[in-house]
């Protein structure tokens, strides 16, 4: 099949030769014809030498690459691609876990595409028009790769696509139909997932390893899980034998999710209380001291223009969190803001510790798990960063 060609300026092909998955508009010399948003295009040198295949979008990122060899993205192509990615997941996902990220955008050579697996249900989330237009092929490929173990495929892209295009998009099942909430297993713990009404694709899979690490510190301790969402850290702390767990989130819906997941794992009474309160107000209003505090807020900044305000927010949050940690206690603190890099986040937590007047040791530097891989050539994919701190 002949695809529209995007010609690069002289000297601008080196990033693509180094397998960077984005072509910026400033690197483009000319185009054949007038490609439309979402069209499959081939990226070539100024002399016409083939470099890569991707999806076109008339914006600052003009092409999102999904292949560095000439291909036709049909069912056969996507079946081969997803089968290869699944083999990697089988090597890195724990045996007692049936929920994981199958496709992590650029980290898996699929710029603009997320697919999460929840105990036989695939939830697709397209972040580009081009990937959304591939959804029929991708659905068939998932059926080919997973066979009879695939119960359903749900498209949840309306919230993540460009606004004008998304106005015509509706979320819904592309294959099968599974009632929610749907039970999954993560490291042997049970969680109930609702991809229809829940945040993102239904569950924050990227904290799996960090939740498991928390369990090592929770036995016999008083634990605060702030921004608890569906209570993942709370469940791990309780199963590890925490003496007391408080879960806090401004959303009553999140608190209901947390209580539901606690009940799914502990039919008997456990030392857990959940509070639908603003986290900062909760931290300031209570002088309760905790042995372990978890701060896992939503992204404070989604673009560079909001970065300064986000840094100030992280500083205030961590200063208050540190004040709630008992002497000799532990703070787990995270940022999922992509524009706040690891060094900036570290320095912000340093500033918070100074403001709180606490001496702090770093025990662990945390990141996302192996089913959220980062391409060596696209470090921007490493969005989750965290610290485990010993607080004097």
Q: Which two tokens stand for residue 384?
A: 């989750």
Count of Cβ atoms closer than 10 Å to residue 287 Cβ: 8
Whole-angstrom distance, CA of residue 185 vs CA of residue 191: 6
Whole-angstrom distance, CA of residue 380 vs CA of residue 367: 13
CB 318 within 8 A of CB 333: yes
Give Cα separations from 312 to 160, 166, 296, 300, 307 (angstroms).
27, 32, 16, 10, 9
Give Cα separations from 96 to 15, 223, 264 (angstroms).
40, 25, 17
With tokens 């890099």, the residue in question is 341
Q: What is the DSSP string of 265-316?
A: H-SS--SEEEEES-HHHHHHH----EEEEEE-PPPS-SSGGGHHHHHHHHHH
Could you tell me whether strands 4-8 and 40-44 are parallel, antiparallel, or unpaired per DSSP bridges? parallel
Question: What tens-digit pLDDT sequence spans the chain (392 residues)?
Answer: 789 999 999 999 999 999 999 999 999 999 998 999 999 999 999 999 999 999 999 999 999 999 999 999 999 999 999 999 999 999 999 999 999 999 999 999 999 999 999 999 999 999 999 999 999 999 999 999 999 999 999 999 999 999 999 999 999 999 999 999 999 999 999 999 999 999 999 999 999 999 999 999 999 999 999 999 999 999 999 999 999 999 999 999 999 999 999 999 999 999 999 999 999 999 999 889 999 999 999 987 667 777 888 899 999 999 999 999 999 999 999 999 888 899 999 999 999 999 999 999 999 999 999 999 999 999 989 999 999 999 99
Range 298-305, long-range pairs (CB < 8 A, 24+ positions): 298/227, 298/336, 299/335, 299/336, 299/337, 299/338, 300/335, 300/337, 300/340, 301/337, 301/339, 301/340, 302/337, 302/338, 302/339, 303/339, 304/339
Domains of the chain (ranges; CATH) run 4-67 (2.30.130.10), 75-180 (3.30.750.80), 204-391 (3.40.50.150)
Predicted confidence at residue 301, as pLDDT, reads 65
Q: Quick one: which H or E segment has residue 173? A: strand 172-176
Task: Give me the helices (H) in the chain, please.
Answer: 14-17, 75-92, 129-133, 135-146, 163-166, 208-218, 232-239, 252-265, 279-285, 307-323, 342-356
- Is omega for the bond preceding 273 within 30 degrees of 0, making it cis? no
The SS3 assignment for 236 reads helix
For CA atoms 91, 92, 97, 98, the dihedral sign is negative
Q: Which two tokens stand for residue 180?
A: 């929610």
Q: Which residues pair with 329 in a beta bridge?
A: 391
Count of Cβ atoms closer than 10 Å to residue 365 Cβ: 11
CB 120 within 8 A of CB 176: no
Q: Which residues pair with 43 in a beta bridge?
A: 6, 52
Query: Is 336 an active-site residue?
Result: yes
Task: Catalytic residue, from 99, 110, 228, 336: name it.
Answer: 336
Range 167-170, long-range pairs (CB < 8 A, 24+ positions): 169/132
């Amino acid at each position: 099949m002949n695809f529209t060609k995007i010609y690069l300026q002289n000297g601008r092909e080196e990033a693509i030769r180094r397998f960077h998955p984005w072509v910026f508009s400033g690197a483009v010399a000319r185009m054949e014809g007038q490609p439309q948003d979402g069209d499959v295009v081939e990226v070539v040198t100024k002399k016409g030498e083939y470099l890569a295949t991707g999806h076109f979008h008339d914006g600052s990122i003009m092409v999102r690459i999904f292949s560095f060899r000439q291909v036709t993205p049909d069912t056969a192509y996507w079946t081969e691609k997803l089968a290869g990615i699944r083999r990697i997941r089988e090597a890195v996902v724990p045996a007692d876990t049936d929920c994981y990220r199958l496709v992590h955008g650029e980290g898996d050579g699929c710029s603009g595409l997320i697919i999460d697996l929840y105990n036989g249900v695939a939830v697709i989330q397209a972040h580009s028009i081009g990937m959304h237009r591939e959804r029929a092929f991708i659905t068939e490929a998932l059926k080919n790769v997973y066979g009879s173990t695939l119960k359903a495929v749900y498209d949840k892209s309306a919230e993540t696509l460009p606004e004008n295009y998304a106005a015509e998009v509706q979320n819904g099942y592309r294959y099968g139909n599974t009632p929610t909430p749907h039970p999954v297993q993560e490291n042997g713990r049970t969680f109930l997932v609702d991809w229809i009404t829940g945040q993102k694709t239904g569950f924050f899979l990227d904290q799996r390893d960090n939740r498991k690490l928390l369990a090592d510190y929770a036995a016999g301790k008083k634990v605060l899980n702030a921004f608890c969402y569906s209570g993942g850290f709370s469940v791990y702390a309780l199963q590890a034998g925490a003496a007391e767990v408080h879960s806090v989130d401004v959303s009553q819906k999140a608190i209901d999710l947390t209580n539901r997941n606690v009940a799914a794992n502990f039919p008997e009474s456990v030392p857990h209380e959940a509070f639908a309160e603003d986290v900062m107000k909760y931290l300031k209003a209570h002088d309760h001291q905790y042995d372990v505090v978890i701060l896992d807020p939503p992204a404070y900044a989604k673009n560079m223009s909001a970065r300064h305000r986000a840094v100030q927010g992280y500083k205030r949050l961590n200063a208050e969190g540190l004040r709630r940690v008992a002497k000799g206690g532990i703070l787990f603190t995270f940022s999922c803001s992509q524009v706040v890099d690891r060094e900036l986040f570290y320095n912000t937590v340093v500033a918070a510790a100074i403001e709180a007047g606490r001496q702090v040791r770093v025990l662990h530097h945390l990141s996302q798990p192996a089913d959220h891989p980062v391409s060596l050539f696209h470090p921007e994919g490493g969005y989750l960063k965290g610290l485990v701190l010993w607080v004097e």
